[in-house]
Amino acid sequence: MSTATAPSPASAPLADGSRRPPSSKRGKKKYDVESGAGVFAPTMMTRVALVAVAILSIFPLYWMVVIASRTTSDAAGFPPALIPGGNLGENFIEALQNPEARLLLGLQNSLIITGTVTASVILISTLGGFAFAKLKFRGSKILMGVVLFAMMVPLQQLGIVPLYMIMVELQWLDTLQAVILPFLVNGFGIFMMRQYVEQAVPDEIIEAARIDGASTIGIWWRIVLPALRPAMVVLGLLTFMLNWNEFLWPFMVLSGENPTIQLAIRQLSTATWSADLSMIFTGTLISIIPIAILFVVFGRQIVSGIMEGSTK
Amino acid sequence: MTTTTAPPRLSWRERLTRADMKATPYALVAPFFILFAVFGLFPMGYTFYASLHTWKLGNPERAFVGFQNYEFLLVDYSRFNWSVVNTLGMFVMATVPQLICALMVANALNRRLKRPMLWRMLVLAPIVTSVVAVGIIFARIWGQEYGMVNGFLGMFGVDKINWQAERLTSWVAISSMVDWRWMGYNALIYLAAMQTIPRNLYEAATVDGATPRQQFWKITVPQLKPVIIFTVFVSSVGGMTMFVEPMMFGSGRLGGGTDGQFQTTAMVLVDILRTHGNYGVSAAAGWLLFIVIGIVAMVNFLIVNRIQGNK
């Protein structure tokens, strides 16, 4: 299976489209069509289809904002309300103060958990990725195979029963470390960093640093880490999004008293289930805001990260 | 300073460097492997051990029972077998249309568009939503009384459908959540692979008179084979462990509807563990799920390989 993921990284073009064939410049369209690259000219159908897909992508999110800014009675009926109302601020305050849902505590817990996991995964992955990419040590091939295995198999889900038993034994139920620790195992991070180090850090620089008497850790700190900064941003973003949205494992070990944001909005949606739709949607909106901000600010990096990660 | 007094053969500094070269690599990869051993490998092995015992939460007594827990799930507890059927059904309904759409969208995104990054972000936008949030929103869109889908169908005189009531209807609703959330993500993965296909292949095909459609099926799709296999594999693992979407569709409960018509295997596992505190049986369910995922991944691999081979 692993072969599917491992064509040579060097041949991959830049995913943000910055390395394009010269023929893609505007004004040379005619020439392209004649030379046979006409398949790449967007047709009317392409545009219509893309607009339709974009609308479908955005609509549920937009509708959530609409309902969150209205009263519940507006949410019922057909055709549905499609224009935002004026109750967003009110609903926000009311949702955050809802004693059953504990949204504020949920936000705080999620920030702690996700922040810790993200920072640790970046650290562990840059260390391991550097070792696998540039250092020679016995057994490195087998160990890399283990990393790929960890990447492919949904360990947190298949090992959920013993993991739960361990947390019961340690009396860690309802604590944040119970959520954090299992998610520090992240094979993808090491894999990704290995690819980046191979590309971004030439062997000669490491040799030169060694001759100057630098230690391995010194090389990691002074040469590898600075070169990896863009990759660290991408890995950080992907890890943050993934863990912010995680539900099953926090659901296993945390109670409603001490929820993550995802548990909190589930609680909100089930406790007041048929009663107050605008409240539920406001809570849902609140849970999405941090990720939405990241997406708007770092969208380019997220897109490139997903695209580059796949061709490697 | 110190090196001048060192013995002629190996200075302490050289020894240190040598030790550094030998030992440090292991130290660098150690954090991952320690965590992996404790929270990855050990739980998987221990699941198997637990699955062979009667073992309940808060009860120190446990007894070896061989494969009785497996037998219970496969023979006596009909919800388990049905959950496998449900999971497979929803997985197929969620994956096949999704990946086909993703291919089409990627093909559209691969053309010369103005503002390509904007289009990519628009297509990817659903990924910002957590699975819980998707479940909450889509449960309303598919709602019986006030849901948008029923409202829309009502315009054509269709009676209000209770999407939760039947197996097929609930699967449609739940699959739509997976399709919506992941289609754009997979489209970007296909797009990345499409950009690596040499353009002169298309130029040559155009010269030979191949239509764009033919070029898509004869050049693009075969060239994407490794990536398609990869996405099918990832989707198999994700689809077969589906949990949150059906749970949120059923008002946050683990039962998967009145008769478990959309209860997935992961839901059965968690239900046995959380509601009944039965380690042994839920561990057996975990291993069975693992085996099913393995089989599904293998079958998918063979299917994808074959479809491609005929082209």
Task: Check residue B169 and give its pLDDT.
Answer: 93
Task: Check residue B209 and give its pLDDT.
Answer: 86
Q: Which residues in A lie closer than 8 A to residue B20 (C-beta atoms)?
A: 215-216
Are B146 and A78 within 8 A, CB to CB? yes
Q: Which residues in A lie closer than 8 A to residue B26 (C-beta atoms)?
A: 137
Task: Check residue A83 and give its pLDDT.
Answer: 83
Are A76 and B192 within 8 A, CB to CB? no
> How far lies B69's CA from each of B49, B63, B74, B188, in Å?
12, 12, 9, 43
Task: Check residue B100 and give its pLDDT.
Answer: 93
d(CA B253, CA B258): 11
| Domains: count for chain A | 1
Domain boundaries, chain B: 2-39, 68-132+168-310
- Helix A44-68, helix A88-97: angle, nearest 10: 60
pLDDT of A311 over the 70 cut: no
Which residue among B39, B113, B154 sits closest to A42, beta carbon to beta carbon?
B113
Report the CATH number of the B68-132+168-310 domain.
Answer: 1.10.3720.10
Domain extent at residue A42: 1-312
pLDDT of A288 over the 50 cut: yes
Are A265 and B132 within 8 A, CB to CB? yes
Query: How many CA atoms lie within 13 Å of A88's alpha carbon, on the beta-carbon side?
Result: 11
Task: Check residue A135 and give its pLDDT.
Answer: 92
This model of the complex carries an ipTM of 0.85
Closest CA of chain B from A92, distance in Å: 16
Task: Check residue A12 and give its pLDDT.
Answer: 40
Are B148 and A35 within 8 A, CB to CB? no
What are the beta bridge partners of residue B55? Answer: B62
CATH number, domain containing residue A182: 1.10.3720.10
Work out the pLDDT band at A34, boundaries 50, 70, 90: very low
Task: Check residue B8 and give its pLDDT.
Answer: 57
pLDDT tens string A113-153 = 999 999 999 999 999 999 999 998 999 999 999 999 888 88
Closest CA of chain A from B121, distance in Å: 7
Query: How many CA atoms lie within 13 Å of B80's alpha carbon, on the beta-carbon side?
Result: 21
Q: Which residues in B lie closer than 8 A to residue A7 (C-beta atoms)?
A: 196, 226
d(CA B13, CA B51): 54
Q: Which residues in A lie closer than 8 A to residue B194 (C-beta atoms)?
A: none
Q: Taking CA atoms, what residue in A is nearest to B138?
A: A60
Closest CA of chain A from B70, distance in Å: 15
Are B25 and A61 within 8 A, CB to CB? no
d(CA A214, CA A197): 18
pLDDT in tens, chain B (311 residues): 444 554 556 788 788 888 888 889 999 999 999 999 998 888 888 888 989 988 887 777 888 888 999 999 999 898 999 999 999 999 999 999 999 999 999 999 998 888 899 999 999 999 989 999 999 899 888 988 778 888 889 889 888 889 988 889 999 999 999 999 999 999 999 999 999 999 888 888 888 888 888 888 888 888 898 899 889 988 888 899 999 999 999 888 888 888 889 999 999 999 999 888 898 999 999 999 999 998 998 898 888 887 654 44
pLDDT tens string A174-229 = 999 999 999 998 899 999 999 999 988 999 999 999 988 889 999 999 999 999 99
State the CB neighbour count (10 A cutoff) for residue A160.
27
Closest CA of chain B from A184, distance in Å: 7
Which residue among A50, A123, A162 sits closest to B43, beta carbon to beta carbon?
A162
Q: Taking CA atoms, what residue in A is nearest to B207?
A: A36
Task: Check residue A304 and give its pLDDT.
Answer: 87
Which residue among A50, A302, A311 sits closest to B108, beta carbon to beta carbon?
A50
Closest CA of chain B from A298, distance in Å: 10
Are A281 and B39 within 8 A, CB to CB? no
pLDDT of A14 over the 60 cut: no
pLDDT of A7 over the 80 cut: no
Task: Check residue A17 and give its pLDDT.
Answer: 42
Are A124 and B31 within 8 A, CB to CB? yes
Task: Check residue B62 and give its pLDDT.
Answer: 83
How much of chain A is in helix, strand and coil states, percent to nearest 5?
75, 0, 25
The phi and psi torsions of B122 (rounded to 5 degrees) equal -60, -45
Of A245, A69, A161, the C-alpha closest to B269 is A161
Least confident of A76-85, A250-259, A278-287, B171-180: A76-85
Mean pLDDT of chain A: 82
Q: Which residues in B lie closer than 8 A to residue A167 (C-beta atoms)?
A: none
Task: Check residue A77 and give its pLDDT.
Answer: 61
End-to-end CA distance of chain B: 72
Interface-testing mutation among B29, B101, B249, B251, with chain A (most A C-beta atoms within 10 A): B29
Which residue among A135, A185, A269 sits closest to B25, beta carbon to beta carbon?
A135
Q: Taking CA atoms, what residue in A is nearest to B39?
A: A182
Q: Which residues does B310 contact at the CB level (< 8 Å), separation at least 6?
A: none
Task: Check residue A78 and give its pLDDT.
Answer: 62
Q: Taking CA atoms, what residue in B is nearest to A44?
A: B108
Work out the pLDDT band at A36, boundaries 50, 70, 90: very low
Q: With 0.95 as the threshold, say if the pTM is over it.
A: no
> How far lies A206's CA from each of A228, B12, B28, B276, in Å?
14, 22, 16, 57
